[in-house]
Each structure stands twice: as C-alpha cells, then as structure tokens.
C-alpha cells in the first residue's frame, strides 16, 4: 500500500502506473487531478506541455477558494495581487499534468522569469478555452426545437493540442 508521501506530485515513469492517471510522457507529472476525456493539451514554447481540465462550475468554485487563500481574504487586493492570484488559482485547479520541472508553489518570486512563465501558461490556457467557446476549428450546427434531428453529442477522437 502506498504511503501518503508517495501521493505527492512526482514524475510518473510508467504510463500505466495508476489507472485513470496515465501520463503521456516520462517528462510529465500528475497534479493529482483525475484524467478525463474532456481534458486538453497546451504546449508552451520553452516551458512544456500541460494537460488541463475543461472548466466546470465546480472548478469555478475551487478557483475562487484558491484565489481567496492566495490573497489571504484581502477584500480589495492590489491589481497586481488580484491578477497573479487569478492566474495561479486557475492553473493550480485546472492542471492535470504539468512538465516535470513545473512547480508553481516553488517558483522564485524574485525572478521575473517566474511571472513570465505563469503568464505564458495562463495565456495559453485562456486562448484554448476561448477557442472552444468561439467554435474555432469545428463546424457549428445549431440545434434546438426541431423535428427528427439527431442531437447526439459528438466526441473527438483525440485530445486537442494548442501550441503557443
């Protein structure tokens, strides 16, 4: 039986180590969030590949709670704190797998590159989410009150990848 310390974020070398938590490569680490068919990838140049969860209402609440923890409940955080806490909260909640060297909590706050990396990954996440909502790259078919139309949900065969 695994002890609790083995459940921390760590690289997974065996693609089939934990059912439901399989990695795409040995350079990814699982954040503990279960892999789902609705997950998607973003590749961020010079940072790596991130598998992210499709945002749900539950995620929004978890993001809000994480934001509150990061701002320590400050009623009116500075614009900088609000922006950083928003990006970090989103990435922490929605990340399913991250590059092996990515640890947002351990980043150096005195290194401007840390903020640049967070911003670039968040920007890739939002661009990908916006592409879902805008219908970019897929045919749009209006459905509604119609006679005899098949309203079955179409499922993509592969998890989509976004490249910065």
The backbone region for 73, taken as left when phi is positive above 0, alpha when psi lies in -120 to 50, beta otherwise, is left
Residue bearing tokens 């695994």: 2
- pLDDT at residue 121 is higher than 60: yes
- Give the pTM: 0.68
Exposed, middle or buried: residue 125 (CB in 10 Å: 0-12, 13-18, 19+)? buried
To which residue do tokens 């950083």 refer? 84
Q: Which two tokens stand for residue 118?
A: 């967070």
Residues 6+ apart with CB under 8 A from 149: 143
Of these ranges, 22-31, 40-49, 145-154, the one predicted with the greatest mean pLDDT is: 40-49
Query: What does the pLDDT average to over 49-64?
Result: 96
Residue of higher predicted confidence among 130 and 150: 130
**C-alpha distance from residue 79 to each of 4, 82, 85, 86, 129 (Å):** 38, 5, 10, 10, 23
Average pLDDT of every residue of the chain: 79
The residue-averaged pLDDT of 142-146 equals 47
Give Cα 136 distance to the centre of its chain. Answer: 19
Over residues 32-36, the mean pLDDT reads 94
Burial of 106: CB neighbours in 10 Å, binned 0-12, 13-18, 19+ = exposed
Q: In this predicted structure, which of 23-27, 30-34, 67-71 has the lowest mean pLDDT? A: 23-27
Give residue-wise pLDDT tens across range 85-116: 999 999 999 999 999 999 999 999 999 999 99
Arithmetic mean of pLDDT, 131-139: 64
Residue 15: per-residue pLDDT: 34
Decide if pLDDT at 150 tops 80: no
């Amino acid at each position: 039986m695994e002890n609790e310390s083995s459940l921390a974020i760590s690289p997974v070398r065996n693609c089939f180590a934990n059912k439901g938590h399989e990695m795409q490569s040995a350079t990814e680490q699982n954040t503990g969030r279960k892999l789902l068919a609705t997950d998607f990838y973003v590749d961020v140049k010079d940072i790596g590949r991130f598998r992210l969860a499709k945002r749900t209402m539950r995620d929004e609440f978890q993001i809000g709670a994480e934001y509150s923890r990061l701002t320590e409940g400050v009623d009116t955080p500075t614009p900088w704190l609000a922006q950083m806490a928003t990006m970090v909260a989103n990435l922490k909640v929605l990340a399913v797998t991250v590059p092996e060297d990515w640890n947002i909590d351990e980043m150096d706050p005195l290194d401007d590159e840390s903020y640049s990396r967070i911003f670039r990954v968040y920007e890739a996440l939002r661009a990908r989410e916006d592409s879902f909502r805008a219908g970019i790259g897929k045919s749009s078919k209006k459905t509604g009150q119609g006679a005899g139309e098949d309203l079955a949900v179409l499922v993509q065969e592969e998890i989509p990848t976004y490249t910065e």
